[in-house]
Amino acid sequence: MASESSPKRDPVEPPQSRSPSPGPTESLTLRALVSTKEAGAIIGKAGKNVADLRDQTGVKAGVSKVIPGIHERVLTVTGSVEAVAKAYSLIIEQLVNSNLNNPPVSTPNVHTSIRLLISHDLTELKIKDIQDGSGARIAASEETLPQSTERIVEVQGSPESIGRAIEEIGQCLLEDWEKGLETVLYHPRPQHERHNRRGDGGSSYTGNSGAGRQTKNRTRSKRGSSNSGQPAPTTQNISIPSDMVGCIIGRSGTKITEIRRLSGSKISIAKAPHDDTGERMFTIFGTPEANEKALFLLYNQLESEKERRASREAQQEE
């Protein structure tokens, strides 16, 4: 088994779209959940294995950073459908051989599995047809993963059959790429960080691109009840560092428009920082349920931006 390199040297996830498929193109981004031990074998000493994988297949590939107390990491592979399938086949062969005491052997008869992360809206695949065509077995979990719309789709079989199944799954994802636009990505995190966003006050997201934390804001929500018995609209505030505002708004306002649509809340953004911290205030107005969803989507976008910046910094260091 190849030993895992230190967290500082690990190649982290490449920049990724909000969807497992980035749009009506031939490029596919497919993520999988791997153990810390498997991540070490995929990365290799000083990143050699993952670098070789990129050279052999032409994909962009990386593994999410180490999180203390978490024993799972996310593998991300981006490229053409064929290249992504080939990359996963090579990764699986590598994982199989890393668990053998003897020198690497032919793996056609080895039965193994890979846990793909697929959006809840993308799991209604032609599973039977894929199984018949690839020889692999596919099992989709019934529940989505915490704070995401992704679920685990486990593909079982030989590395070759898994590669064939992944290619067919990738084609299905690209054909239905529009369904992936609302995907909320899964990020492994400690249990205590899986916050319940609902609260009496607003929240403040502070820190730089490499770290962030949440604190209670002094501004309190306006609570009440409507005559119809339905929860009355409430107001919540969240402070965002100015250098992170652009990633939430998106080009021509596309991302903030999508968050408003998905949550059902009205979201307004202060044009200037509200104090000497340089943070800008986001005001969220809607039902408690809608506001909670809006906060979740906002924080998810911030976490993805943190990972994107960390990936860029790691690549610059290399």
Res. 316 pLDDT band, cuts 50 70 90: confident
Task: Give this prediction's pTM.
Answer: 0.58
Higher pLDDT, 76 or 14: 76
The CA distance from 210 to 307, in Å, is 8
Compute the mean pLDDT over every residue in the chain, rounded to the nearest whole number: 76
Q: Please identify which residue in the block is written with the tokens 């898994």.
A: 162
Give the pLDDT confidence score for residue 114 in this predicted structure: 95
Strand segments, DSSP code E, in the chain are 27-35, 60-63, 72-80, 112-119, 137-140, 150-157, 201-206, 213-220, 234-241, 266-269, 279-286
From the candidate CATH numbers 3.30.310.210, 3.40.50.970, 3.10.129.10, 3.20.20.70, the one assigned to the domain spanning 28-101+109-176: 3.30.310.210
pLDDT on residue 212: 31
Give the pLDDT confidence of 13-36 residue by residue, as tens digits. Answer: 443 433 344 444 478 899 999 999
pLDDT single digits (tens) 134-150: 999 998 888 888 878 88
- Residue 107: name the closest of 89, 122, 119 by CA: 89
DSSP calls for 53-105: HHHHH--EEEEPPP-TT--EEEEEEEEEHHHHHHHHHHHHHHHHHHT-SSSP-
Q: In the prediction, which pLDDT does 113 show?
A: 92
CA–CA distance, 97 with 100 (Å, rounded to integer): 5
pLDDT at 303 over 70: yes
pLDDT tens digits for range 261-275? 888 999 998 888 876
For residue range 49-66, what is the model confidence (pLDDT) as tens digits? Answer: 999 999 999 999 999 888
Task: State the residue for tokens 């949440």.
Answer: 214
Domain boundary assignment for the chain: 28-101+109-176, 234-314
Q: Would you say 182 and 145 are in contact if contact means Cβ atoms under 8 Å apart?
A: no
Amino acid at 109: N
Choice between 156 and 69, residue whose per-residue pLDDT is larger? 156
pLDDT digits (tens, 9 = 90+) for 190-232: 754 544 333 333 444 433 332 233 333 333 334 444 455 567 8
* Cα gap 314→210, rounded to integer Å: 11
Helix-then-strand count for the chain, H and E = 8, 11
Please tell me the distance from the alpha carbon of residue 58 to that of residue 52, in angstroms, as a whole number. 10
Q: Give the neighbor-by-neighbor strand order of the sheet with 137-140.
A: 60-63, 72-80, 27-35, 112-119, 150-157, 137-140
Identify the residue with better confidence: 276 or 240: 240
- Sign, CA dihedral 187-179-11-42, equals positive
**By the 8 A CB rule, do 299 and 205 touch?**
yes
Q: How confident is the model at residue 6 (pLDDT cuts 50, 70, 90)?
A: very low
Domain 234-314 belongs to what architecture? 2-Layer Sandwich (3.30)
pLDDT of 49 reads 93
CA–CA separation, 53 and 36 (whole Å): 18
